[in-house]
Copies of this chain bind each other. A is one copy, B any other.
Amino acid sequence: MIGLDWGTSSLRAFLLGNHGDILAERGGTDGIMAVSAHSTDPRGDFSRIAQAATGDWLTTYGQLPIIACGMIGSTQGIVEAGYCELPTDLNALGGQLTSVELSIGTMHIVPGLQKTATVTTAPDVIRGEETQLLGLLTAEGNEPNTVVLPGTHTKWVSCEPTRITDFSTSMSGELFGLLSTSSILARLAEPTESFHSEAFDWGLQVGAEDPAALTSYLFTARTWALDGRLRAEEVNDYLSGMIIGAEVTGQLVSTPVSAAPVLVCGAAELTQRYLRALDRAGRPAVAANPRAAATGLFRIAVQSGLVSTKENTHA
C-alpha cells in the first residue's frame, strides 16, 4: 500500500509492505501550500504531486491502496475529511475515511480529532497527529498516558491506551522562533549548529522554577548576555531552555502522574530537549519512533479493510 503524510508544508510518501514495513520512503516540500488557493483545478494539481511522489511505485507494483493523513483533509486541502470528537478510540479511525478520486487512483483520507469547547475550556483540533498517535500507541511496549509531539505548535496528548481523552497545543516552538529571530534578544544571540547543554539546562531551571513569571525571565537572556555570563552562541539555548522548562512544568500540573514513561515523538534534536526537561522534572520519558505516521497509516488501512488481514497473515 501507499501511505501519504501530507501536511501544510511537506509531503512524505511511504511504500509499505504486507506487514506495514517501510519498503521505500520519499520526502518533499510539496505540502498543500504548493497548490495555490486560486488554482482552477486543485484536484488535478494534487494528482500531479501524488503522481510525482508515487508514480514509479505504482508502475512497479500495479494499483495499490492509497491512504493519506494531515492537512490534505482540511478545507485548504483537497477535501474536508471531518473530525472524530473526543474522547475517541483511534481504532475507530479506519471506519471514517473520506475518499477522493485522483489520477493515480482513489485516495482515502483519515479524519482529524476535535475537542469541543466547554464554558471553561477552549476547543482545539489536530489533523495528522491522530495517525502518528495510532502508530505510536500500537507499537510494542508503548503504553504511555501522555504523548508529547514537539514542533512549532507542540501537542500534549492524554491517552489510555489508544483512547484519546484530551490534548492541548502549546505555542512554545513558534514563540522560540519569534523571540530568537525578531526580538531584542536576537541582537545579542549568535545562532550555532551545536547544542550548549549548560546554557540549556540553566534556562530549564529558570523556566521551571517559576513558569508564571516567563515574561520576566525571558528578558534575563538579554541581561545575562550583557553581563557577559551568557556567551552570544549560548543565548538561544538558554532561551529554548526557559521556554521548554516553563511549558513542561505548566503542562505537568494537569498531566496525571503515571508509572508509564511520557512518550516524546518529534525531530531528533528537539525530542532530546524535551527528554532533558522531563528528566529534570522527575518524569520518566522515552523517545518514540519518528516514522510513526507510516505505522499509523498501515493500521488504519487494516482497520478499514483496504489491506486484508488475510493478506497480512499469509504474506
Contact = CB atoms under 8 A, between A and B. Distances in A.
Contact of A223 (B125, B184, B214, B254): B125
* Complex copy number for this chain: 2
A216 B251 contact: yes
B171 A219 contact: yes
A172 B229 contact: no
A168 interface: yes
A106 B299 CA distance: 80
A195 to B, nearest CB: 21
Q: Which applies to chain A's interface (DSSP): helix, strand, loop or mixed?
A: helix
A213 B156 CA distance: 12
A23 interface: no
A227 interface: yes
Contacts of A215: 170-172, 175, 214, 243, 246-247, 250
Nearest to A116: B227
Contacts of A123: 223-224, 226-227
Contacts of A184: 153, 171, 174
A253 interface: yes
Interface string A168-211: 11111011001100111000000000000000000000000011
Given A117-B229, A123-B223, A183 B171 contact: yes
A174 B216 CA distance: 12
A227 B247 CA distance: 25
Contacts of A253: 210, 212-213
Contacts of A175: 179, 215, 218
A122 interface: yes
A279 interface: no
A76 to B, nearest CB: 12
Interface residues of A, number: 42
B216 A170 contact: yes
A213 B153 contact: no
A153 B250 contact: no
Contact of A213 (B117, B178, B251): B251
Interface in A250-281: 250-251, 253-254
A249 interface: yes
A198 B123 CA distance: 19
Interface in A208-240: 210-216, 218-220, 223-224, 226-227, 229
A215 B171 CA distance: 5
Nearest to A176: B215
Interface of A: 117, 122-125, 153, 156, 168-172, 174-175, 178-179, 182-184, 210-216, 218-220, 223-224, 226-227, 229, 243, 246-247, 249-251, 253-254
Given A171-B219, A178-B183, A216-B251, 19 more contacts: A117-B227, A122-B219, A122-B220, A122-B224, A124-B223, A153-B184, A169-B216, A170-B215, A170-B216, A171-B215, A175-B218, A210-B253, A211-B211, A211-B212, A214-B246, A214-B250, A215-B247, A216-B247, A216-B250
